[in-house]
Amino acid sequence: MRGTAQLPASKSESNRALILQALAGGGQLDNLSDANDTQLMQRLLADPAATEVDAEDAGTVMRFLTAYLAVTNRNALLTGTARAQERPIGILVDALRELGADIGYEKEEGYPPLRLRGWQAAEPQNENATQEDEPIELKVRGDISSQYISALLMIGPMLPGGLRLWLTGKVGSRPYIRMTMALMQHFGGNCRDLGTALEARPGHYQPADYTIESDWSAASYWYAMVALAPAGSHLTLPGLRRYSWQGDQAIVDIMAKLGVDTEFLADGVRLTQTAPTGGFTQDFTDCPDLAQTVAVVAAALNVPVVMTGLESLRIKETDRIFALQTELANFGAFLTEEAEGHFRVSTEEFHVGGQTVATYHDHRMAMAFAPLALRGPITVDSPQVVRKSYPQFWLELEKAGFSVV
């Protein structure tokens, strides 16, 4: 395998930048992601008069818009697909209610659809705010989706006195929180990380221009391909930065253990196949979207890997732990919970020979298993799911020499 693969722009950066652009009232965004989630966010933000807002199956859109619609005093029904209505949102709604948002549940308590009716008062009220110039204080569990925390942070400067979030327990996906705060600062927001608390001071966002980086999550699938390709393979991925706000840049160090060396270029990276270093333990708390990719590569290479920090995988597009366990078994591999929160990837007799991979309406299942085609023919069920984050994925595979029919 040789050549260059084009990556989509970061969906995580794109969707945060779109919310902040809307709150700032302007600014030019370049290299926005062509992922369905980002295109959906653009369409929904462009229609401020809509009384029904359909976030489809996009978690970031659902969570970010819940906070955005509330703080901008919108009256609307926020809904989504059947799967979206199974993903809990109660922690975010409870926090927004404390700030003064009037939000009700249309069906099941704690789940979308949501009925938003603006603020209960002209200004958010909270008994923890002792003075007008003091931030409203909330306690939020740190082990929930970072998207809840990011949604609250981004509206913090819009609140009288601002917002101080106290994070309790283990904090997951902290790089995504850092990304949110860095983008807030880029748009003129005054925010800071106090360790156990995150603070956003009151003030107006300012219009700003920003160019979105390529997506490290998407890059992980090309790392997997180089790891599984014939000896001597190498590949260039443009648009990635050495100093990135994306937590999934962790793939650089993880895949070094699985036989892929990374060289940073002026604009992107060059991947070269090397030898795996042997078994290891990896905490995915800050990079849960890499778990499927790593599990598949480790199984195919017969490298024992113990995976921790997978708690959030249960409430993604599907139950990703169950999906991984089911599909890996078809290839002769296992993802076994040896102790609470500790999963071991192991292989009996790994083989690829015409199996069909179910995708469970999850784009990352399709792309994580696709590299196995380097070891033999496979069928990927419902391949269109990749539109969620990497619409050109199958086309890029064809350019790289794969036969995709």
Q: Which residue from 180, 165, 155, 147 is spatially nearest to 55, judged by alpha carbons?
A: 147
Catalytic member of 289, 319, 362, 381? 289
What band does 372 get if pLDDT is binned at 50, 70 and 90? very high
> How distant, in Å, are the alpha carbons of 66, 82, 90 from that of 96?
9, 23, 10
8 A C-beta contact, residue 151 and residue 66: yes
- Is the pLDDT at 44 greater than 50? The verdict is yes
Under DSSP, the state recorded for 198 is: E
How high is the pLDDT of residue 124?
Answer: 41
What band does 170 get if pLDDT is binned at 50, 70 and 90? confident
How high is the pLDDT of residue 195?
Answer: 84
8 A C-beta contact, residue 282 and residue 294: yes
- Is the pLDDT at 129 greater than 80? The verdict is no
Averaged pLDDT for residues 383-391: 93
- Is the pLDDT at 60 greater than 50? The verdict is yes
Residue 369 CA to residue 359 CA, distance in Å, equals 9
How high is the pLDDT of residue 312?
Answer: 77
- Is the pLDDT at 127 greater than 80? The verdict is no
Phi, psi for 347 (deg, rounded to 5): -135, 135
**Lowest mean pLDDT: which of 148-157, 197-206, 283-292, 311-320?**
311-320
How high is the pLDDT of residue 359?
Answer: 96
User: Does residue 289 have an active-site annotation?
Assistant: yes
Averaged pLDDT for residues 56-70: 95
Phi, psi for 404 (deg, rounded to 5): -115, 115
- Percent of the chain residues topping a pLDDT of 70: 97
How high is the pLDDT of residue 130?
Answer: 46
**Lowest mean pLDDT: which of 63-72, 283-292, 364-373?**
283-292
> How distant, in Å, are the alpha carbons of 67, 120, 151, 152, 294 from that of 95?
10, 14, 11, 8, 34
DSSP 76-121: EEEE--TTGGGS--HHHHHHHHHHTEEEEESSSTTSS-EEEEEESS
- Is the pLDDT at 125 greater than 50? The verdict is no
> In whole numbers, what is the pLDDT of the chain averaged over residues?
93
- Is the pLDDT at 314 greater than 80? The verdict is no
- Is the pLDDT at 128 greater than 80? The verdict is no
What band does 303 get if pLDDT is binned at 50, 70 and 90? very high
pLDDT digits (tens, 9 = 90+) for 327-361: 999 999 999 999 988 999 999 999 999 999 999 99
How high is the pLDDT of residue 132?
Answer: 56
pLDDT digits (tens, 9 = 90+) for 219-265: 999 999 999 999 989 999 999 999 999 999 999 999 999 999 999 99
State the sign of the Cα–Cα–Cα–Cα dihedral 386, 390, 395, 398: negative
**Lowest mean pLDDT: which of 4-8, 33-37, 291-295, 380-384?**
33-37
Averaged pLDDT for residues 130-138: 75
Q: What structural domains and CATH numbers belong to the chain?
A: 11-205 (3.65.10.10), 216-399 (3.65.10.10)
Residue 165 CA to residue 360 CA, distance in Å, equals 35
Averaged pLDDT for residues 109-123: 84
Q: Which residue from 38, 110, 109, 103 is spatially nearest to 77, judged by alpha carbons?
A: 103
What band does 196 get if pLDDT is binned at 50, 70 and 90? confident
